[in-house]
Structure 1
Amino acid sequence: MSDPIDENRLRYLFESARYGSVRTAADALGVNPSVVSRQIAQLEQDLDATLLERHSRGVRPTEAGQLLVEHYRRHAADRDDTLTKLREIQGLQRGHIDLVLGEGFVADLMGGSLGEFWRRHPRLTISLELAGTSEVIRAIADDRCHIGLVYHPPQDPRIRSCAAIRQPICLIARPDHPLARLRRPVKLREVAEYALGIMHAGYGTRQLLAMAETSEKIGLLPKLTTTSISILRHFVRSDLGVTLLPAFSVAADLEDGSLVAIPVENALLASAEAHVITRLGRELPNAASQLLRFLIGRMKAFAAANLTP
């Protein structure tokens, strides 16, 4: 008797539920959308159950569909872990690691840490995915990535923070800016008087700034809102305004003296942290576990951080 839960059809269902769109899932899988629709329809027929609901903005799984999505996610994670453990019989000679991170960590990661790791383990491969705070957490919780680097994440019961260190949000400005010439910590109200560039609402820095605005009963009116730290760097370097970011995200600019980081007098902004996260309960493959420890020990964003037990 054939198994009614066909593995390939289950994958089409999983990707459609993940992206909320049959067409987007088809693009990711490299097939025609009609193929995805037919395979899901056949799976529904085999199981005599409706698995996807169509709505104006795409699709979402039914209760039965969600049960199969979770089954596939567990199966895929178990399969990947088994394959990785087989590779580990040969030590760290082979293997692949999926890493998801906020843009602010990129320069720190690529500036030396990753190169040193590859020199030690040249046959390991790594994929890097850039994402906002919420998407980093989702990628880890859904087992799409092994390790996440994220700034000031909200608490999530699915997530384990392996390391965290305080990295306050600072005023980032040119050395000749009036606020920089004060040579003292600045108040948020003072920052509000100047042209300001900030990150989009989906990012940890912006979410924390919103809380700080509420605590001080002020409203920042940004001249520029973006999803790119690189754009904010150019905004400030071009003397178009100032921004609010953790210092490690513009470390190269601070080192060459083109920008300065000035403390902001706000308890919320001063308490922000950079985190390395994994999914709670997931046993990382050996290669990912080694990279996790390596990044915590080498990256400036986690200097002096300690592994949690």
Structure 2
Amino acid sequence: MREQQIGQEITENRLAYLYEVAMQGGIRAAAEAIGVNPSAVSRQVAILERYLQIPLLEKQGRNVVVTQAGKLLIEHHREMLYRRRQLAETLQDMRHLRRGSVSLRVGQGMISEFVKGPLAQFSADYPDVFVDIHSGNMSETINMILRGKVDMAISFGPLGDPPVMVRSFNRGPICAILPPDHALASLETITLEALAAQRLVFMAEQFGIQLYINEMFREQQLAPLPAYQCNHFSTAAALVMSGLGIAFMTRPLARHLVERGDIVAIPIDHPLSYTATCHLVRSQGRRFTPAAEHLWKVLVNSMQSQSIWRE
């Protein structure tokens, strides 16, 4: 009887109020965001606390924060919203066959290749599907996939063993990117020792390619200090073309600049350079909409056609 009563009191409206309090950091701010009186928010949260017999909010300075029990309820609310969205998208796909939306995260260094290849093909096949594309670090992306906030992801770099479905593809070699008139530009391969003596351009730590670079230098017991660090490959390329340093990219990423004659890409003489991988990632048990499933297949086929397939 008690379980049935609790279930009746945990309504979607009350959970939405609790969620908004957590997002806004206070009852008054939540009330303004929702468009109701603060007393209405307080009353609904109080009803939840009374029936659950556990506090859901606690004061922290001028703000209120959600307790562990409150976080569980908010997570439940998010899951319900996600399932409702998925149901709506599935029904929409059933009604219109090729409508709906797909969300994915793409590593910054792979965006251009993704847009020109797989996305162009997918958009031709499913022109009415909305595609939500963002970039971000891998740990955040994995978390979003597990929470159902993102359908799939394309990443580059060491991945570990996350609790998701992964398809990996060879993307090596990693190359040193130099201006054509650089003293080392005529080399077929370049050693880490030679690179350590140069002015280097590093990417931010969350970039997969930087993780590879760091590991290669560490294995050679080298610790060069970069002259520059940036969070856009376009910035790194601009530094190289200005003769200010040597950056690092994979051959696919550097290809258009090499073909234009703006830079030279020389493979790094280290095993990790040639075994660098990119990954397609999705949830283990989540069922895709027809549109998302089609995009996944397009991505797999595109990667297979360009790379060495690795299970």
Deviation, 1:105, is 1.0
Q: Which amino acid aligns with 1:179?
A: L
Residue matched to 2:262: 258
Residue matched to 1:210: 214
CA RMSD of aligned residues (A): 3.4
Describe the SS at the equivalent of 1:218. coil
**Identity of aligned pairs, percent?**
27
Cα 1:38–1:281 change in 2 (3 A) is farther
Describe the SS at the equivalent of 2:243. coil
Cα distance in structure 2, aligned partners of 1:286 and 1:151: 26
Equivalent of 2:167 in 162, 168, 174: 162
Equivalent of 1:221 in 209, 225, 242: 225
Residue matched to 1:98: 103
Structure-2-length-normalised TM-score: 0.81
Deviation, 1:152, is 1.6
Equivalent of 1:272 in 269, 276, 290: 276
Deviation, 1:164, is 2.9
Q: Does 1:147 align with 2:147?
A: no
Residue matched to 2:24: 22
Cα distance in structure 1, aligned partners of 2:60 and 2:175: 43
Cα distance in structure 2, aligned partners of 1:36 and 1:132: 39
Q: Does 1:186 align with 2:190?
A: yes
Structure 1 contact 171–244 (Cα < 8 Å) conserved: yes
Q: Which amino acid aligns with 1:164?
A: F
Pairing of 1:33-44 with structure 2 (within 5 A): 42=43, 44=45
Cα 1:139–1:115 change in 2 (3 A) is same
Residue matched to 2:46: 45
Aligned residues: 299
Q: Which amino acid aligns with 2:306?
A: A
Deviation, 1:161, is 0.6
Deviation, 1:85, is 1.8
Structure 1 contact 97–288 (Cα < 8 Å) conserved: yes
Structure 2 contact 175–250 (Cα < 8 Å) conserved: yes
Cα 1:50–1:35 change in 2 (3 A) is farther
Deviation, 1:36, is 12
Residue by residue, what CA displacement relative to the aligned partner does 1:166-219 show, whole Å, maximum 9, x if unpaired?
4332212222222222x2211112112111111111222222222222211111
Residue matched to 2:115: 110
Cα 1:90–1:33 change in 2 (3 A) is closer
Cα distance in structure 1, aligned partners of 2:217 and 2:42: 50
Larger Rg over CA atoms: 2
Q: Which amino acid aligns with 1:303?
A: Q
Residue matched to 1:123: 128
Structure 2 contact 202–228 (Cα < 8 Å) conserved: yes
Cα distance in structure 2, aligned partners of 1:59 and 1:227: 35
Cα 1:43–1:142 change in 2 (3 A) is farther
Residue matched to 1:79: 84
Equivalent of 1:67 in 60, 66, 72: 72
Greater Cα shift, 227-236 or 47-56: 47-56
Q: Which amino acid aligns with 2:183?
A: P
Q: Which amino acid aligns with 2:196?
A: A
Cα 1:91–1:106 change in 2 (3 A) is same
The runs of 5 or more residues in structure 2 that have no matched partner are none
Q: Does 1:303 align with 2:306?
A: yes
Describe the SS at the equivalent of 2:118. helix
Cα distance in structure 1, aligned partners of 2:126 and 2:169: 26
Structure-1-length-normalised TM-score: 0.82
Cα distance in structure 2, aligned partners of 1:36 and 1:281: 42
Q: Does 1:235 align with 2:239?
A: yes
Deviation, 1:149, is 0.7
Cα 1:38–1:144 change in 2 (3 A) is farther
Structure 1 contact 5–43 (Cα < 8 Å) conserved: no
Cα distance in structure 2, aligned partners of 1:166 and 1:306: 10
Cα distance in structure 2, aligned partners of 1:210 and 1:108: 25
Describe the SS at the equivalent of 2:9. coil
Equivalent of 1:133 in 132, 135, 138: 138
Residue by residue, what CA displacement relative to the aligned partner does 1:250-282 show, whole Å, maximum 9, x if unpaired?
332123232222111222333221111012221
Cα 1:39–1:157 change in 2 (3 A) is farther
Cα distance in structure 2, aligned partners of 1:37 and 1:162: 49
